[in-house]
Amino acid sequence: MFHKEGHKIILITLVVVVLAIFAIDYFIVNIEWLRKTLMLVVVVFFLLILQFFRNPKRFTNLNETQAVSPVDGKVVVIEEVFEKEVFNEKRIQVSVFMSPLNVHVTRYPISGKVTYSKYHPGKYLVAWHPKASEENERTTVVVENSNFGKVLYRQIAGALAKRIVNYAKIQDDAIQGADSGFIKFGSRVDLFLPLDADIKVSLNQKVKGGESVIAEM
């Protein structure tokens, strides 16, 4: 199953790959090893595009006392920070880094009402750069429910990510684990939680979007 954001790119890539294979077969006749190598490279490239846009089924255990990971990846930050875009107060930040090989679907960490959704143009620093959360292209979304209050998650573009897709609109009803966006080609997501949230992950832990529990109230 592939994400809708990849349908056009997959189709275009398929056409290019087929044309490339025909061209290789037509123009490189006498050098068998080179012909096979180039064909293999083209096919592997297509398979990488397919795996990048995959959208596997996730089984979220809906629980209003838990916040799940918005994305697949590795936990790279767990720290108390001052969040100044929305809250203007201290929060616990949990950041998940996604490599190009991870699933890049963004999912709602909690169920509730979307109270804030904003896009910010910006730079394309590497996703783990300390300033990436404030200077890179990004979107900020806040979801509110009775247990967590307001939870903010921020999609951040990386050096390779050139397009962030955000489906969340103010007053939308967010469903925990449901698709809320997509980031193309590598990035990270920051999650800002209340200070009294019980963090359930550790640094360098691998997490799955929509399934791994990040925190509990």
The whole-angstrom separation of Cα 74 and Cα 96 is 5
Mark whether 187 is an active-site residue: yes
Catalytic residue among 133, 187, 202, 212: 187
The whole-angstrom separation of Cα 150 and Cα 145 is 7
Residue pLDDT, tens place only, 124-144: 565 555 565 666 788 999 999
Q: pTM score, two decimals? A: 0.81
Domain 66-216 carries which CATH code? 2.70.70
Residue pLDDT, tens place only, 6-65: 678 778 888 988 888 888 877 887 888 888 888 898 888 888 877 777 777 888 889 999
The whole-angstrom separation of Cα 39 and Cα 8 is 22
List the domain boundaries for the chain: 4-52, 66-216
